[in-house]
Amino acid sequence: LPHLEVLGIEMAVERRLQILCLHGYRQNDVFFREKTGSLRKMIKKYADLHYACAPHRPNVESSEERGDVRGWWFTKPDAQFSSRDVTDLATGFEDSIKYLVELIKVKGPFDGYLGFSQGACMLHLLLAKAEKGEIDIPKPQFVIFGSGFLSLSSKHEEYTKLRLTSTPSLHIFGTGDEVVLYPVSERLMDQFRPSDSSSTVTPSEIRHDGGHFIPPMSRYKQPLIAFLEQQLAVVEVRE
């Protein structure tokens, strides 16, 4: 462990996982930080959460929203997005990739990433582009997806076909989610499932009975902490 000298007394500084968080569509970093407050407190012994803010502003009525809402890319010509759009559009996607690559370069490195909804989809695409060698970011030790899904844009087809079986992943989704149906989140999880049954890297899941949100994690503390402890142990061994 790193050490810190205070008043002549050497003290061990606990290593915590550094996690970059990607918010959902029509959210922002401040909003997502608020929404993950209970999660952040629960895992503070194990991890520090850092929040990215998507560069694009969706076309919404100001009366509909509070604050400066953002999106990672758009599937409609009028600067809007839906996870269910089968489309040839992915407007703003490459700009968001450039933003994240620069953010990781300046603020990182990060041990892992967490993405929610469109942020989860963005995270998957970021990893796929890195896997194909199109961008240069450090390979994360792990990833966490909340209400994740695969992009239906033809612009992303080469990435959604790619299996990412070497990265440990935790998938959190609700059977009552009406925005991203849980079988859709399962399809994303399948992209992290090795075809070889002898592989030690298999996706973990927390399946809850709620809707489109990261649930109060007190009910799921054991599997969440177990996943983080496993990743922390690997990081500490590597260091």
> Is 212 assigned a catalytic role?
yes
Of these residues, 177, 185, 204, 208, which one is catalytic? 177
**19 contacts 116 by C-beta, under 8 angstroms:** no
Residue 223's contacts (CB-CB under 8 Å, 6 or more residues apart) are: 204, 206
Has 177 been annotated as catalytic? yes
pLDDT of 12 strictly over 50: no
Cβ–Cβ under 8 Å, residues 1 and 13: yes
| Active-site hit among 117, 153, 169, 185 | 117
CB half-sphere exposure, 65, CA atoms < 13 A: 15
Least confident of 130-134, 162-166, 168-172: 162-166
User: Is the pTM higher than 0.85?
Assistant: yes
- Which of 54-68, 122-136, 145-159, 217-231 has the lowest average pLDDT? 54-68
Is 63 one of the catalytic residues? no
The average confidence (pLDDT) of the chain is: 91
pLDDT, tens digit (0-9, with 9 covering 90-100), for 224-238:
999 999 999 999 888
**Residue 176 scores a pLDDT above 80:** yes
Cβ atoms of residues 138 and 90 within 8 Å: no
pLDDT at residue 168, rounded to an integer? 96
Please tell me whether residue 80 adopts helix, strand or coil conformation: strand
3-state SS of the chain: helix, strand, coil percent to 5? 35, 20, 45
CATH number listed for the domain at residues 17-238: 3.40.50.1820
Sheet holding 47-51: strands in order across?
Answer: 47-51, 17-22, 112-116, 142-146, 169-174, 204-208
Q: State residue 150's pLDDT score.
A: 98
CA distance 110 to 238: 14
Count other C-beta atoms under 10 Å from residue 162's C-beta. Answer: 16
